[in-house]
């Protein structure tokens, strides 16, 4: 096993630690995304993260096909592609058709990883975002997870998992699963360290993938708390690194994979330069104890007085 991959699932499919994310608000122009993905592949990125919600599956798929045709990679098997089940498709009878649509849009035969995007369902066939207040529905976890398992059995997903699941919601999935989730993709960074959730996932053999590890500045949910942290700035200066590199190295040393996003070549290169150095025990201790903790992604857009999840506390089951 390479230090730059994690084996996931019972098949021990290898997932690269670093994924290039494609979520942006507003969505990136297709030509910009395609150019970025091709540049990323040239630099060595092999893991790409998307979702129907991001409106990036089509240009990502075009870029991946072009990478093969240009000889940047020999075949699709060198890539690891993650996509997600959107809320409107999180219903009995809709999960397999949803992944098939994503595969058709991406022009792929299979996904390496397919995740339930949020622990929320919405009215079938209504894809407007934000989801309208009257359109939220309780998720039938047993049925939806059973159909996620069917995606893996059919071979259209090598591995399956969840995203934005609290300990309680994850334990519920584990209690009903024949195939346990391989991954839980959640917000995690020096300012929201997810210790309890990571302990649970580690005990169950579930890999944590961190998003918003740099604070997602520029997104409607973003924050400057990470890039403006005095602790991280001091460590970065001492190391001759950037704050972003220190944050990513911290996540890597905590044993998680991560999704990062940039459309700039210099940042893409910078993100890859986190593997040949390490933090001292004192530096890790400072990050663990001196940085105040607060959630960035509160899930507010998935909360409705008229829906099954009526508060931030209910979304995260008190893990806030």
Catalytic residues: 54
Looking at residue 78, the DSSP 8-state letter turns out to be G
Give the CA distances from residue 175 to residues 162, 181, 204, 279, in Å, rounded to whole numbers and listed in that order: 14, 11, 12, 37
Looking at residue 317, the DSSP 8-state letter turns out to be T
Q: What are phi and psi of 169, to 5 degrees?
A: -70, -35
Q: Tell the residue number behind the tokens 């630690």, with chain if given.
A: 17
* Side-chain half-sphere CA neighbours of 215 within 13 A: 18
Cα gap 215→203, rounded to integer Å: 27
Check: CB of residue 58 under 8 Å from CB of residue 30.
Answer: yes
Cα gap 109→89, rounded to integer Å: 20
Which candidate, 225, 213, 216, 224, places its Cα nearest to that of 186? Answer: 213
Cα gap 148→53, rounded to integer Å: 18
| 12 annotated ligand-binding residue | no
Crossing angle for the helix pair 167-176 and 195-204, to the nearest 10 degrees:
20
Cα gap 143→177, rounded to integer Å: 10
Annotated binding residues, written as ranges, equal 117
Annotated binding residues for substrate, written as ranges, equal 117
């Amino acid at each position: 096993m390479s230090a730059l991959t994690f084996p996931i699932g019972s098949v021990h499919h290898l997932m690269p630690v670093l994924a290039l994310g494609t979520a942006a608000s507003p969505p990136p122009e297709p030509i910009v995304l395609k150019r970025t993905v091709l540049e990323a592949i040239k630099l060595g990125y092999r893991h790409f993260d998307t979702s129907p919600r991001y409106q990036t599956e089509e240009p990502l798929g075009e870029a991946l096909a072009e990478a093969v045709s240009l000889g940047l990679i020999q075949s699709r098997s060198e890539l690891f592609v993650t996509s997600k089940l959107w809320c409107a498709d999180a219903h009995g009878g809709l999960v397999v058709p949803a992944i098939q649509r994503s595969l058709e849009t991406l022009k792929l035969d299979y996904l390496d990883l397919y995740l339930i995007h949020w622990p929320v369902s919405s009215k079938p066939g209504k894809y407007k975002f934000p989801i309208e207040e009257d359109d939220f529905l309780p998720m039938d976890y047993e049925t939806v997870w059973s159909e996620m398992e069917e995606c893996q059995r059919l071979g259209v997903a090598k591995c399956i998992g969840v995203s934005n699941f609290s300990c309680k919601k994850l334990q519920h999935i584990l209690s009903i699963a024949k195939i346990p989730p391989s991954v839980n993709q959640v917000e995690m960074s020096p300012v929201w360290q997810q210790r309890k959730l990571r302990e649970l996932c580690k005990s169950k053999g579930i890999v944590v993938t961190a998003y918003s590890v740099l604070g997602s500045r520029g997104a409607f949910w973003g924050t400057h708390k990470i890039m403006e942290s005095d602790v991280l700035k001091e460590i970065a200066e001492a190391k001759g690194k950037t704050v972003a590199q220190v944050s990513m190295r911290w996540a890597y040393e905590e044993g998680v994979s991560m999704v990062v996003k940039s459309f700039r070549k210099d940042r893409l290169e910078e993100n890859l330069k986190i593997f040949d150095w390490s933090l001292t025990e004192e530096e890790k201790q400072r990050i663990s104890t001196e940085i105040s903790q607060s959630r960035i992604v509160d899930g507010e857009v998935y909360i409705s007085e008229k829906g099954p999840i009526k508060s931030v506390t209910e979304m995260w089951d008190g893990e806030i």
